[in-house]
Amino acid sequence: MTAALAAAVLLVTTGCSSDDGEKKDTAGSSPPSSSSAESPPPERAADTAPPAKGSVKVVRTVTEDLDTPWGLAPLPEGGLLVSSRDDATISRIDEESGEKTVLGEVPGVAPAGEGGLLGLAVSPEYASDHMIYAYFTSASDNRIVRMLYDPEKPAGEQLGAPDTILRGIPKGTNHNGGRLAFGPDQMLYASTGERYEGPLAQDKDSLGGKILRMTPEGLPAPGNPFDDSVVYSYGHRNVQGLAWDAKQRLWASEFGQNTWDELNQIRPGGNYGWPEVEGKGGKSGYVDPVAVWRTDEASPSGIAIAEGSVWMAGLKGRRLWRVPLDGTKTAAAPQAFLEGDHGRLRTVVSAGGDRLWLVTSETDGRGSPQDGDDKILELRVK
């Protein structure tokens, strides 16, 4: 898709099916690949706008034959942890050989619909505590647990008993949120959905339809906008992407209903409008998104920031979006890459410098899996 067409996407309002439906991809070609330079370029200075046009090169397939992969978390010493939504397992992927080792099954997971074992995060004190965090759907709620990871134990037995640090997040067949990430402040952030009950998003006493911020123990983080609460922002429909830019500003991707998907810059205590507003409403008291897409072009899940741009994985859109940033605004029209090349795209994570890890999602019940699905790909971007 050209930048001009992407700009049109941002301006045209149309009633499209929500993220829960299916739509066949239209034909499209990927923009040119990035440079084949062996060494990554120097880090871009904070708030220096990137070029209007970018590029993506698929360097290699890291691993394949994954079942319903969802969360992805790089380990400090190397290796990638990946969750299986439906199998409730966490596996370690050797990023060089692609070899998989199953750490174990997380007890208490009750997969159904979009629920199951979702986001993963590695403790910022991993070198000393070896803790990994997981967000999952149980029989009664969505919750966050942490587990000791002991790679010296036999495969399948490397996870300790889960310690639940937060429970009571509303669950549903759909709209469970589920992304976990530790921020630059070493606090744990989690995205939640409103399980198709819009009013939950505006209820600050509910954990549904929110971005949460907590200590590694699951307590309200110091400096949170609401007293004795883990709620950091509200008025969200179903956030599945969290990432920070070079200025430590938080960005989030959000599923729309029938018209607009969103990329938001998150402010503490901000009300992002759902269900009163979808897309850019311009209404007092609500924070408008920085960029919007038609729902059939995106249905965004994970995001990452690299080379001065937000990179957003699209499920129904089956493409990777690049959104160049200039501070808290877009520097140019978003660009789409890999259109239909790898099917539904679930998660994208920074691999350092100009590299990304990208996780496909063809086995999630809404795709058309081919031989080798699902996969983790290594990308080089600019």
Assess whether pLDDT exceeds 60 at residue 81. Answer: yes
Encoded tokens for 365:
């019940």
The whole-number pLDDT of residue 348 equals 99
What does the pLDDT look like over 337-360, one tens digit per residue?
999 999 999 999 999 999 999 999
Assess whether pLDDT exceeds 60 at residue 11. Answer: no
Q: How far is CA 145 from CA 80, 109, 166, 169, 216, in A?
A: 19, 11, 7, 12, 10
Assess whether pLDDT exceeds 80 at residue 33. Answer: no
The whole-number pLDDT of residue 48 equals 76
What does the pLDDT look like over 87-99, one tens digit per residue?
999 999 999 999 9
CA atoms within 13 A on the CB side of 141: 12
Q: How far is CA 142 from CA 14, 37, 121, in A?
A: 33, 44, 16
In three-state secondary structure terms, 128 is helix
The whole-number pLDDT of residue 105 equals 99
What does the pLDDT look like over 109-119, one tens digit per residue?
999 999 999 99
Assess whether pLDDT exceeds 90 at residue 29. Answer: no
Q: How far apart are CA 94 and CA 80, in angstroms?
A: 7
Tokens 């090169």 belong to which residue?
Answer: 57
* Mean predicted lDDT score pLDDT of the chain: 91
Q: Which is the CATH superfamily of the domain at 3-381?
A: TolB, C-terminal domain (2.120.10.30)
19 Cβ neighbours under 8 A, 6+ residues apart: 238, 255, 256, 261, 295, 299, 315, 316
Q: What is the DSSP string of 23-91?
A: -PPPP--PPPPPP--SSPPPPPPTTPPPPSS--EEEEEEEE---SSEEEEEE-TTS-EEEEETTT-EEE
295 Cβ neighbours under 8 A, 6+ residues apart: 16, 17, 18, 19, 255, 256, 257, 258, 259, 260, 261, 316
Tokens 């992002």 belong to which residue?
Answer: 272
What does the pLDDT look like over 16-27, one tens digit per residue?
334 444 333 333
The confidence band for 30, taking pLDDT boundaries of 50, 70 and 90, is very low
Encoded tokens for 232:
């950091």
The confidence band for 37, taking pLDDT boundaries of 50, 70 and 90, is very low
**Nearest partner of 348 among 290, 300, 289, judged by Cα:** 300
Assess whether pLDDT exceeds 60 at residue 10. Answer: no
The dihedral over CA atoms of 98, 83, 58, 41, expressed in degrees to the nearest 10, equals -90
Q: How far is CA 248 from CA 98, 148, 251, in A?
A: 32, 28, 9
What does the pLDDT look like over 285-304, one tens digit per residue?
999 999 999 999 999 999 99
Which H/E stretch holds residue 129? helix 126-129
What does the pLDDT look like over 167-187, one tens digit per residue?
999 999 999 999 999 999 999
User: What does the radius of gyration of the chain's CA atoms come to, in whole angstroms?
Assistant: 19
The whole-number pLDDT of residue 47 equals 60
**Nearest partner of 343 among 365, 322, 311, judged by Cα:** 365
Omega prior to 275 cis, within 30 of 0 = yes
Residues of the chain above pLDDT 90, percent: 87
Encoded tokens for 209:
């339809």
Q: How far is CA 277 from CA 174, 187, 201, 271, in A?
A: 20, 29, 12, 10
Per-residue pLDDT, averaged over 31-52, amounts to: 53
Which ranges of 285-337 would DSSP assign to H, the alpha helix?
A: none
Phi, psi (degrees; rounded to nearest 5) at 68: 40, 55
Q: How far apart are CA 113 and CA 253, in angstroms?
A: 20
Neighbour-count burial of 13, counting CB atoms closer than 10 A to its CB (0-12 exposed, 13-18 middle, 19+ buried): exposed
pTM score, whole prediction: 0.89
